[in-house]
Amino acid sequence: MRLDFAPGEAAQVDFGAGPRLLDTDTGELRKTWVFVMTLCFSRHQYAELIWRQDVATWLACHRHAFAWFNGVPKRVIIDNAKCAIILAHRRDPEVQRAYGECAEGYGFKIDACPPREPQLKGRVEAGVKYVKQAFLPLREFRSLADANAQLRQWILAEAGNRIHGTTREQPLALFESVEKALLGRLPDVPPELAVWAKLKVHRDAHVQFEKAYYSVPFRLLGQTLWLKATSDVVRLYQEHVLVATHVRQLRPGARSTVADHMPPNALAFAMRDPQWCLKQAKAVGPQCRALIERLFADRVLEHLRAAQGVIRLGEKYGSARLEAACQRALSFDNPRYRSVKTILEKGLDQQPDAAAAFDTLAESYTGGARFLRDAAELLSH
């Protein structure tokens, strides 16, 4: 049977394949899609060419369409696109959380068609076909923005003023005279359009969303959190509790890390850089600083952990013993963490310095020893 709709009662939404257009950011030719929303009573429509069919684009297209009509229909009839419906079912479909919030904010009901029954949204399918046959093949576009500017002008000038094959009236005139006044009022404050995602916390206390990384408190390692992303901000929730907020990262591979989210040992490691090690070594003494400088002067190995380990030995043995151990290690030309640690463990730092002992032994042969007779006295005899 033919479906009839009252003015302002419903709109239908669908996608169609668009032309390949030049991406002015990358210089590449990319595939496009055409989003169409058709008001069921007047057949007046909104159309927009887009790059992708993701959730954020889906929500943005709805906002643009409602602004175009300057009103909101009571319900929006859709198919089971993944950007709108998580689970397609004839009686119990499961809607995307972000789309549900959009519907609640604008005050419309989502009406998902049963699977494999596209005829229930035939008005918009006819609208998509009309755009693809009467507009796209007859135009040339420099960019996506240029294509959308031409599309809006075409809807107002040609598509909206044609005599529709079913209603036998002009869609734009029928919309202006009857349906526009019966649409729901736009909210005074537009609802926040956000994308929701369920993500697991990685071992480094970060979650990954759209090729960017965001930190969360390390106590949540291995747990699954809700992420809410707007165009500017990313928020992370454990159930209904906000646990982290970040500025949205748009560059692939970008990382947003809050220092307080990291485990104490990881945070301490990150803060103890070479400059910190040199500053701490200087407070211990000149020999300790000289040993740390020798470690960082190595052309082959990165000795940051070794330097941190040497400084940490002072917490157990004290600065005085650490300074003596560094001096002993340098005297043997062995400025390594294991050398300093062994010297302290065996108490060698409390023994006479090796160089001093060598000087004492040398004095026996070069100075006046107790049992050494003067060579000049022997010759006199």
pLDDT of residue 349: 87
Domain membership flag for residue 203: yes
- Same domain as 205, residue 161: no
Q: Helix, strand or coil for residue 163? A: coil
- Same domain as 158, residue 94: yes
Sheet of 10-22, strand order? 45-50, 29-39, 10-22, 75-78, 109-112
- Same domain as 276, residue 224: no
Domain membership flag for residue 373: no
- Same domain as 119, residue 17: yes
- Same domain as 164, residue 73: yes
Paired tokens of 251: 């560059």
Output Rg (C-alpha) for the chain, integer angstroms. Answer: 38
Domain membership flag for residue 356: yes
Where residue 66 sits, what CATH number does that domain have?
3.30.420.10
pLDDT of residue 220: 95
CA-CA distance, 267 to 280, in Å (whole number)? 17
Mean pLDDT by 10 residues, the chain (381 residues): 87 94 90 96 96 94 97 94 87 91 95 80 89 93 94 95 93 96 94 92 94 95 95 93 95 91 71 84 94 90 88 92 94 92 91 57 51 53 52
What are the strands, taking DSSP E only, across 104-174?
109-112
- Same domain as 328, residue 211: no
Domain hosting residue 314, numbered range: 272-365
Q: How many domains does the chain have?
A: 3
Contact 21, 141 (CB under 8 A): yes
- Same domain as 31, residue 177: yes
- Same domain as 41, residue 174: yes
A 10 A CB-CB count for 1 gives: 3
pLDDT of residue 87: 86
Contact 185, 72 (CB under 8 A): yes
- Same domain as 330, residue 257: no
For the stretch 83-116, pLDDT in tens is 999 888 888 889 999 999 999 999 999 999 888 7
pLDDT of residue 3: 77
Phi, psi of 144, deg, nearest 5? -65, -40
- Same domain as 154, residue 219: no
Paired tokens of 88: 């397609």
Cα torsion 341, 347, 352, 357: sign: negative
Closest by Cα among 190, 189, 209 to 199: 209
pLDDT of residue 373: 56
pLDDT of residue 109: 95
Domain membership flag for residue 176: yes
